[in-house]
Structure 1
Amino acid sequence: MRKFFMTTKRLGFSVWKEDDISDALNLWGDPEVTKYIVVDGIMLKEQVQERLKKEIETYNNARVQYWPIYLIESGENIGCCGVRPYDSEKNIYEMGIHLKAQHWGIGLAQEACLAVIEYSFNNLKADALFAGHNPKNISSSRLLKKLGFTYIHDEFYPPTGLYHPSYLMKKQEYITYIRENGKEK
């Protein structure tokens, strides 16, 4: 049974380990997932292995990563959601989420992101969260706005070779969001 350090109503958050290569390949090896993440939309096995290695290194160095997330009911890995250092001097983390296509459109992305936002502000004591998305990914744009992020600028993202709309959420904006919407909204 997988250990979770954080849970929501439907999701459990774990930490990537080297023996999670099968879950990593099922996630980042799927062109439906990676079409907005890398320039050609496809991650080869070696690239997935490197991505997993990078997530593990980020955790070892900063105690954060894009954590693997699982359905509590079945134990199925559905993707990852988490943070990584973005601007350490200003105590800003970058939030990201990658979900398998069969789990899109049923509120799991919002549920996972809300948990990560809460964890970031309450446990990591972040001053702000940064997030960006591929300009072709309209669903991510809607999600970030729904979560209360504010557009700040377009930022070049080397893995896609595109300028990504980029957003920021300060702690006060999170507090306002929770006050107005509640945690599960």
Structure 2
Amino acid sequence: MDLIITTERLILRQLLPSDAEAMFEMDRNPNVHKYLWNKPVETIEEITEIIENIRKQYLDNGIGRFAIVVKDTNEFVGWAGIKFITEPENGHVNFYDFGYRLNEKHWGKGYASEASYAWLAYGFNQMNIKIMYAAAHSDNGASNRILQKIGMTLKEHYLSDEIQWNWYEMFAPTTN
């Protein structure tokens, strides 16, 4: 898989083993995991395993979460992308989920929105996905605002592990 997506400020590319240190810095931060079950990673080995699993998704599903890198600095700021979900979630199975996660020091710079628009365009236009889903913790105001800003529609609330989540969907644009 040689996919690279570029935007005005970002490069979206496969996650690599060499991203482990930067990803560990992001995922060990309790603030990053506040709305992700409050379980930050504790070891670099956990990140190495996560990256291996994501790279396996590239092979198995032809898509997965990608690194977000700033063009001007080559700095890893987080990840975003489309994931094919094969386990049941909110009554759905075998669906495309859109998601992102950024290092706290890069919050509020518009990177999540910029990467999101690029991924949605790719998913709908190149992959011919008909409907994309996303979920955000109901109390995560920033992520909920981003999902709404990029055009996703809040469809319902659901409980998972005693946490209330917001369930979003977006249909592929139609041309007349």
Aligned to 1:181: none
Aligned to 1:79: 78
Does the CA contact (< 8 Å) of 2:57 and 2:63 recur in 1?
yes
Give the secondary-structure state (helix, strand or coil) at the position aligned to 2:137.
coil
Establish whether residue 151 from structure 1 lines up as the match of residue 151 from structure 2: no
Distance 1:87 1:170 in 2: 19
Choose which of 38, 47, 52 in structure 2 pairs with 1:40.
38
Does the CA contact (< 8 Å) of 1:86 and 1:130 recur in 2?
no
The alpha-carbon deviation at position 50 of structure 1 amounts to: 2.9
TM-aligned CA distance change 1:51 to 1:92, over 3 Å:
same
Give the secondary-structure state (helix, strand or coil) at the position aligned to 2:169.
strand
Does the CA contact (< 8 Å) of 2:24 and 2:41 recur in 1?
no
Choose which of 73, 83, 108 in structure 2 pairs with 1:105.
108
TM-aligned CA distance change 1:113 to 1:11, over 3 Å:
same
Q: Deviations over 1:33-67 (max 9, x none)?
A: 22222x23422224333322221121121121110
TM-aligned CA distance change 1:33 to 1:90, over 3 Å:
closer
- Give the ranges of 4+ consecutive aligned residues of structure 1 lying more than 6 Å apart after TM superposition: 87-91
Does the CA contact (< 8 Å) of 1:85 and 1:92 recur in 2?
yes
Identity in percent:
25
Distance 1:90 1:43 in 2: 27
Q: Which runs of 5+ in 2 are unaligned?
A: none
Give the secondary-structure state (helix, strand or coil) at the position aligned to 2:14.
coil
Aligned to 2:127: 124
Q: Which runs of 5+ in 1 are unaligned?
A: 177-185
Does the CA contact (< 8 Å) of 1:92 and 1:127 recur in 2?
no
Matched AA of 1:117 = L
Aligned to 2:169: 168
Does the CA contact (< 8 Å) of 2:30 and 2:38 recur in 1?
no
Give the secondary-structure state (helix, strand or coil) at the position aligned to 1:97.
strand
Greater per-residue helix proportion: 1
Q: Deviations over 1:71-118 (max 9, x none)?
A: 000000000000101369997410001011121112111111000000
Query: TM-score with structure 2 length normalisation?
Result: 0.85
Distance 2:112 2:148 in 1: 13
Distance 1:87 1:124 in 2: 17
Task: Report which stretch shifted further, 66-75 or 44-53.
Answer: 44-53
Task: Report which stretch shifted further, 119-128 or 18-27.
Answer: 18-27
Aligned to 2:50: 51
TM-aligned CA distance change 1:91 to 1:118, over 3 Å:
farther
Does the CA contact (< 8 Å) of 2:30 and 2:40 recur in 1?
yes
Query: TM-score with structure 1 length normalisation?
Result: 0.81
Aligned to 1:27: 26
Matched AA of 1:104 = W
Distance 2:81 2:20 in 1: 18
